[in-house]
Amino acid sequence: VEIQIFVDPTRHPLPHLRQQMVRLLRAELSLSRRALTEVDPHRIEQLQAIEDEIDQIYLLTVRQLLLASDDFRVAQEIGVPSHHYQIGDRLVAKALEMIGDRLFDTGRELLSAPNEVRRMPRACQEEIETLLDRFDRLLARTMEAFSQLSLLMTNATLNELLKELDRQPTFGRLQTRSMARATALLVQRVASNLLT
């Protein structure tokens, strides 16, 4: 059995695919943020559709990189200047796909338990909002560093990301004692998704 793909690979340049993934990640982030303040049962379906699209773009990116590894002309046309960049491009694509999975898990947790989200102490909600904001800023700076191919900027951003991952959220420790068990577990799962 021989499978052939007739889609023109030059229609999907890698920088464009990467930008699409980042745009979709920000959409997932936005839905997670809105889950803290609004109740909409249809948002979980929107979140699933976004996650599915991120997975499809990841698979398309892998396909593009495989085609680029076979044909240098294709590699040049889709934005891979040298075969040395292919591994890095694959790592970035995989990292973005994994980030999408984490954001999906976070959003799903928040969207599927609106009553627990409402019962969360305000300090917990603010801490989650802060984590989501920091995540958004780090994502933007990381992608800017990758697009500029700046080693200094990339290292600084990755070091900040490592510090952020080591940071433990407080979630208003004094107030969490009065939280219901289901709400406390929700906060724990959301924080775990955002910090790992």
Q: What is the pLDDT of residues 87-111, one digit of tens each?
A: 888 888 898 898 899 889 888 988 9
| pLDDT at 91 (0 to 100) | 84
Q: Alpha-carbon distance 138 to 117, whole Å?
A: 25
Q: How far apart are the first and last CA of the chain?
A: 41
With bands split at pLDDT 50, 70 and 90, how would you rate the model's confidence at 175? very low
Which pTM does this prediction carry?
Answer: 0.77
| pLDDT at 47 (0 to 100) | 95
Angle, CA of 66, 67 and 73, to the nearest 5°: 135
Angstrom CA distances, 107 to 6, 110, 172, 196, stand at 36, 5, 21, 15
With bands split at pLDDT 50, 70 and 90, how would you rate the model's confidence at 118? confident
Nearest CA among 163, 56, 25, 32 for reference residue 106: 32
Residue that wins the pLDDT comparison between 160 and 12:
12
| pLDDT at 82 (0 to 100) | 82
Residue that wins the pLDDT comparison between 184 and 36:
36
| pLDDT at 137 (0 to 100) | 87
**Average of pLDDT values for 18-41?**
90
Q: Alpha-carbon distance 164 to 144, whole Å?
A: 18
Angstrom CA distances, 25 to 46, 62, 139, 144, 190, stand at 13, 18, 9, 15, 16
With bands split at pLDDT 50, 70 and 90, how would you rate the model's confidence at 46? very high
Asked if residues 157 and 142 have their Cβ atoms less than 8 Å apart, the reply is yes
Query: Would you give the DSSP letter of residue 168?
Result: P
With bands split at pLDDT 50, 70 and 90, how would you rate the model's confidence at 176? very low
Asked if residues 191 and 135 have their Cβ atoms less than 8 Å apart, the reply is no
Asked if residues 187 and 125 have their Cβ atoms less than 8 Å apart, the reply is no
pLDDT tens digits along 145-166:
777 766 677 677 767 766 665 6
pLDDT > 90 fraction of the chain, expressed in percent and rounded: 21
Write down the domain spans for the chain: 9-195
* Cα-to-chain-centroid distance, residue 161: 14
Provide the 10 A C-beta neighbour count for residue 6: 4
Angle, CA of 66, 68 and 73, to the nearest 5°: 155
